[in-house]
Each structure stands twice: as structure tokens, then as C-alpha cells.
């Protein structure tokens, strides 16, 4: 299978853009001084008011046959379908993109913003739990035509190291690591280091 490849990049006129637009926000600051902020926004936000849902799947063995793990993928754009809650979308998309069936939602974050200085994009993080009988099964994904998703299982306490290695080699391969996944992994690792007295 050939690798995806950028053939050209060009400046896009607002009038030609289908999915995103530029907005100019006029506001007055704390001193009453008029100021201007430029930002980008998606044209696709639906009734849910939420642009995207992030899914964190915790894979665990009923017999402790493997350490608590998660599944990371190399392409990611889970939309929320019409009339669906973010939690339903998380469970549906997890199964489509990785084949894992979650038995429930462990946690659902408030709505948070991705890069507030630049866009109005928002999202929710939904943590779901997948119990496996014994060994770490890797079911088939249920991808749409044109979807090309590589998945990888990683133990939670190796996630930060794995992503750091990934980020270092990825530049050469055209891949980049998502900041949000990276921050989750940093927080997880920091709690462990503090617990183990290894934080200096």
C-alpha cells in the first residue's frame, strides 16, 4: 500500500473554504480598551455543540494476564453523529476503529477547548472500560472504505515513553503525536514517579 503523500499546498480563500472559516472577534478588555482577536472555526458544529470526542479505552484482563493497557491509533477523527451523545459516539467509534467493545463509560470530561488562542474548537474526553477474558485479544477493526487506521496496544505505564519515542522518530515519517494524548501520558507518569519517590 503506498504512503499518503502531500502533492501541493495553497492559500485558501475564505469564500472557497467548505469546512473551516476565519472569524474576527471585536472585544473590550479589562481596561475597557477595544481589541481584536482572530480565530478559526469549524463550519460543522452540530446541535450537540461539541466538535469532537476523544476516547481513552482502558483494556484489562479479568485474570490479570496482562497489565492495564490502552490502544492508540495512527489516525483519528471521531465525529459525533446526529442525535448521539458523546458517550455513545465514543463506544461506537472505539468499536469501528479498533474492534474493541466497551462495557461502559468510566468518566466523561466537561467540554474543554483545544487551542483557545487559535480556534474555537472544543471536545470531551470519554474514558471507557474494556474487559477481556484472559489474553490480550486484538479484534478486527470495522473501518469505512478509505479509512486507514493502524492500531497499537500499549501498557498504561509505558505510554509516555512510547509516545516520546514515537514523537522523535515520527518527524521523519510524517507522523505527529497529539498533544492531548501526550499530556494524559505525562500526567499518568508524573503521578507514578511522585508515588515512587522518583520526582526530582
Which residues inside 57-96 make contact with its own copies, applying CB under 8 A? 58, 68, 76-77
Q: How far is the CB of 133 from its own copies (least distance, A)?
A: 18
Q: Cβ of 26: how many Cβ atoms within 10 Å? A: 8
Q: Give whichever of 83 and 110 is closer to its own copies, judged by the CB atom.
A: 110
List the grid coordinates of 129.
472500560
Q: Which of residues 114-143 bind its own copies (CB under 8 A)?
A: 114-119, 121-123, 125, 127, 129
How many Cα atoms are found within 13 Å in the side-chain-facing hemisphere of 32? Answer: 0
Q: Is 194 in the site for its own copies (CB under 8 A)?
A: yes
Q: How far apart are CA 42 and CA 133, in angstroms?
A: 42
Q: Is 195 in the site for its own copies (CB under 8 A)?
A: yes
With 0-12 CB in 10 A as exposed, 13-18 as middle and 19+ as buried, what is 93?
buried
Mark residues 159-178: x for contact with its own copies by CB under 8 A, - for none: ----xx--xx--x----xxx
Amino acid at each position: 500500500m503506498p504512503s499518503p503523500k502531500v502533492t501541493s499546498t495553497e492559500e485558501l480563500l475564505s469564500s472557497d473554504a467548505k469546512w473551516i472559516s476565519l472569524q474576527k472577534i471585536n472585544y473590550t478588555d479589562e481596561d475597557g480598551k477595544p481589541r481584536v482577536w482572530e480565530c478559526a472555526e469549524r463550519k460543522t458544529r452540530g446541535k450537540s455543540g461539541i466538535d469532537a470526542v476523544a476516547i481513552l479505552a482502558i483494556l484489562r484482563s479479568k485474570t490479570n494476564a496482562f497489565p492495564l493497557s490502552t490502544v492508540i491509533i495512527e489516525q483519528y477523527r471521531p465525529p459525533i453523529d446526529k442525535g448521539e451523545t458523546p458517550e455513545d459516539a465514543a463506544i461506537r467509534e472505539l468499536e469501528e476503529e479498533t474492534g474493541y467493545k466497551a462495557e461502559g463509560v468510566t468518566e466523561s470530561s466537561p467540554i474543554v477547548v483545544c487551542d483557545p488562542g487559535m480556534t474555537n474548537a472544543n471536545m470531551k474526553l470519554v474514558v471507557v472500560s474494556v474487559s477481556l477474558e484472559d489474553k490480550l485479544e486484538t479484534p478486527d477493526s470495522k473501518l469505512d472504505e478509505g479509512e486507514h487506521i493502524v492500531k497499537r496496544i500499549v501498557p498504561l505505564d509505558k505510554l509516555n515513553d512510547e509516545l516520546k519515542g514515537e514523537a522523535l522518530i515520527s518527524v521523519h515519517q510524517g507522523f505527529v503525536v497529539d498533544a492531548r494524548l501526550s499530556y494524559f501520558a505525562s500526567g499518568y507518569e508524573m503521578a507514578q514517579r511522585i508515588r515512587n519517590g522518583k520526582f526530582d
